[in-house]
Amino acid sequence: MNELLNWLLLQKGGIRTYLEFQNRALDLRASEPEHAALLRLLADLAGRFAEAYDGEPLSVDVAERALGQLSALLEKAIAPGAIGPAEHLALLNEIGQAELV
């Protein structure tokens, strides 16, 4: 997942970024099945954002804010140090309720 974060941090935040993130996250599930739920939720989050702006103008402010939110959630997910089941579930719930704005 570090590779996914490194890639994301190099992006500008256009719609293609979110569509590519969605694809990369879904593909990553095969090699990291222990993170399948997390990757699915992040992929869905990025996909919903891309869908919301499909064919619509995306301002730089909105793109940067959404990119920051997505990056922060991914950073939180791969932060060093083991988290317990309760914290992991809380993170999954946070991502499940999140919307990029």
**How far out from the chain centre does Cα 31 lie?**
17
In which region does residue 64 sit, left (phi positive, over 0), alpha (psi from -120 to 50) or beta (all else)? Answer: alpha
Domain locations in the chain as residue ranges: 2-97
**pLDDT tens column, 45-95:** 999 999 999 888 899 999 999 999 999 999 999 987 767 888 989 999 999
- For 75, how many CA atoms within 13 A lie in the half-sphere containing its CB? 9
Q: What is the pLDDT of residue 80?
A: 73
- Looking at the predicted structure, is the pLDDT value of residue 18 above 70? yes
Q: What is the pLDDT of residue 54?
A: 87
Q: What is the pLDDT of residue 79?
A: 85
Q: What is the pLDDT of residue 82?
A: 66
Which stretch of 20-24, 85-89, 95-99 has the lowest confidence by average pLDDT? Answer: 85-89
